[in-house]
A = this chain, B = another copy of it.
Amino acid sequence: MAQDVHADRAVATAHFADRLAEQVERKRSQLVVGLDPRPDLLPVELKGDAHLGREHAADACARFCRGLVDAVAPYVVAVKPQVAFFEALGADGVRALEDVAEYARLAGLLVIADGKRADVPSTARAYAAAYLEPRAQASVRGSGPVEGDWGNREVPPARDALAPLVDALTINPYLGRDALEPFLHACRRHGAGAFCLVKTSNAGGADVQDLALSDGRPVWQAVAALVADWGDDLVGDHGLSSLGAVVGATHPRAVGEARRLMPKAVLLLPGVGAQGATPADVARAFTSGPASALVTVSRSVIYAFRTVGAEWRQAASAEAARLKREVWAVSGW
């Protein structure tokens, strides 16, 4: 067991974008499946006791996500648990997230927590600790420094520290560079990754992101330039930065412009499937290399059984396999 933990840690310290690029090339996949477990939509065989309270609901969600990991692992490079759906089940839900993240890691997948976190610097350090830094063992005697010492002092991780909860986290740029520095620090020091919101897939994103600046650019393009700058010292051997960017596939022209503004960023592209975009809409995202963009699909894969009528794991597996091939084809690699 101790050996496994140390092996995990060795992996986790390698450069995030390099680890990602190796996975993409090995699997010939740029697909990420989002894990958005909603108790009301679970397969009937898993619902079971879910109506009896949040502990049961969290267990059912964890079983659902583990089954999905098994089903899609051959076709995806990463899973993207949406933190909100776990958080909605309280502490039991967060326990389920910890369980699912560990399970996906053991299945050889990268894990991108979709939390869209950001806060002032002293607080952002706690979010970086929560997601991207080695964690102290839960309640194990003699585990070294005080857990959660995310203050100003640098503390080496305990010898028997667990791997970070996830490999990468989505973050929000509204609070600026200093608020994101703790996440960038985790990229530099712990081999973590981060994906900064730039142009989101929802219609309302335009309210702030499309405001016109005095130089004629919309706000999101200025944010894209900032993200390119902030990630410039995080570029690995594959020419890609560990600071990526979230750009909605629902805005095909913006995807091309984002590629131009952030040539070294891995673009995380939501919006294909339930939100209406197709893989063809994002083809130009891949011009910086096979791993320079990731298509992330959630509902249309994980709830495929609700429309196609097949067994839930088979339905997810088939849809992931189909999307993986389709995305790889449009990527031109």
Interface residues of A (CB under 8 A from B): 36, 38-41, 47, 50-57, 82, 84-85, 87-92, 94-95, 98, 114, 116-124, 126-127, 129-130, 135-151, 153, 165, 172-181, 197, 200-209, 211-214, 216, 219, 222-223, 226, 270
Contact = CB atoms under 8 A, between A and B. Distances in A.
Contacts of A38: 126, 148-151
B146 A47 contact: yes
A243 to B, nearest CB: 14
A53 B212 contact: no
A277 to B, nearest CB: 13
A40 B174 contact: no
A54 B222 CA distance: 40
B151 A207 contact: no
Contacts of A216: 214
Number of identical monomers bound together in the oligomeric complex = 2
Contacts of A197: 174-175
Contacts of A144: 51
Contacts of A145: 51
Contacts of A119: 82, 84, 114, 116
14 contacts: A53-B141, A57-B147, A82-B126, A84-B119, A85-B126, A88-B127, A90-B130, A91-B91, A92-B138, A172-B174, A174-B197, A174-B200, A175-B197, A178-B202
Contact of A90 (B51, B89, B98, B143): B98
B135 A207 contact: no
A103 to B, nearest CB: 15
B88 A91 contact: no
Contacts of A138: 53-55, 90, 92
Contacts of A84: 117, 119, 123-124, 126-127, 130
Nearest to A226: B207
Contacts of A53: 136-141, 143, 147
A52 B141 contact: yes
Nearest to A216: B214
Contact of A127 (B87, B90, B153): B87
Contacts of A87: 94, 126-127, 130
B139 A55 contact: yes
B98 A207 contact: no
Contacts of A153: 40
A51 B146 contact: yes
Contacts of A127: 84, 87-88
Contacts of A91: 91-92, 94-95, 98
Given A52-B141, A84-B126, A176-B202, 16 more contacts: A40-B151, A53-B138, A55-B139, A82-B119, A87-B94, A88-B150, A114-B119, A116-B172, A116-B175, A174-B174, A174-B205, A175-B197, A176-B206, A208-B222, A211-B213, A213-B214
